[in-house]
Copies of this chain bind each other. A is one copy, B any other.
Amino acid sequence: MAKHIVVIPGDGIGEEITAGAVKVLQKIDEVCHIGLTFEKKPAGGTAYDLCGSPLPEDTIEAAKKADAILFGAVGGDKWDNVDPKLRPEQAVLGLRKALGLYVNLRPVKVPEVLAEYSPLKPDIVTGTDVLIVRELVGGIYFGDRCESEIHNGVERAWDLENYSVPEVQRISTFAMKAAQKRRHKVTSVDKANVLATSRLWRRTVIDVAKDYPDIDLNHFYVDNCAMQLALNPKQFDVIVTSNLFGDILSDEAAVLGGSIGMMPSASIGEMTSLYEPIHGSAPDIAGQGIANPCATILSAAMLLRYSLDEDVAADKIEKAVDAALADGWRTPDLYKEGFKKADTQKMTDVIISKIQ
């Protein structure tokens, strides 16, 4: 049975990097006979320019029917003065909500070959292998809010942080199951010494963990976690946290891990899921053909693993990326003397040539 992938390149370098990843998927399809079909849809600033909305109905409809979505990146200075409700990032938030993408998975893995790109000292970072499990459709991102009101005689704005027991059960169950396939350790991150939401979060996670006696669960305050990620990232296996804390911690972890040009992500829903590199749309280098396609290619590998259950195909892609790096190929963002320089096209071709 054919598997239908909706490709949403978005803005900036989105077009180039998703094109590279699609080529890799096509090659894998030849090798593994998955039967992939592709369909391209607009989103972000490009879509806004095209039809006045960063997330056209037609894109949402296609995404809903897809077996999986491959997403590039959205955004750019060009749309800085557009009404906030129509800005490119609304495409991201809108898709998460419309598709119910309740988990954001952000693996940060630092093999020796990438450690030199980390701002951290090599002995601290080499060997890091953490999976951040971020709740993605709840919390303060989607709570009630007020842009402006008069309260006690002065103007104020507010946003409601909120979590329900079922929301926390769902995300922590996901984290427990993910840890069972890894090193059996879950760190739940909250601010339970201050926030009521965090106290509900913590007691619910503790409750869920009772069904997972093989999992070693601990709890960190978010400020301490921000410290520990820098001091000793190797201590972590799976980190599970709220939408807002996850936004901050997963970006911190990503840069500590070295090049953000190498970091994939998955946003998982009940019906379909979306895969995207964590780096942005990089308008400054868009159209030059020099963007690093690896994060998007590795996102495509996650797509095969999580949405299509094609673990063998996913492994092949990940190994091909490793092999290209081991051979000394580097895109400009990672290039140093002594290596072989590759543009987007070349890097993609090298990776394809390594697929066995």
Contact = CB atoms under 8 A, between A and B. Distances in A.
Counting chain B CB atoms within 10 Å of each CB, which of A84, A119, A140, A162 scores highest? A119
Given A120-B121, A230-B119, A157 B223 contact: no
A165 B154 contact: yes
B255 A145 contact: no
Contact of A165 (B156, B191, B199): B156
Contacts of A26: none
Given A145-B196, A251-B223, A163 B154 contact: no
A146 interface: yes
Given A121-B120, A223-B251, A247-B223, A161 B159 contact: yes
A301 B146 CA distance: 42
A231 B119 contact: yes
A121 B122 CA distance: 9
B163 A160 contact: no
A159 to B, nearest CB: 5
A178 B252 CA distance: 27
Interface residues of A, number: 58
Contacts of A284: none
A157 B166 CA distance: 12
B255 A227 contact: yes
Contacts of A163: 156-157
A271 interface: no
Contacts of A162: 151, 156-159
Given A227-B252, A247-B223, A255-B231, A199 B161 contact: no
Contacts of A227: 251-252, 254-255, 260
Contacts of A120: 119-121, 230
Interface of A: 84, 87, 89, 93, 119-121, 124, 140-141, 143, 145-148, 151-152, 154-166, 191, 193-197, 199-201, 222-224, 226-227, 230-231, 244-245, 247-252, 254-256, 260
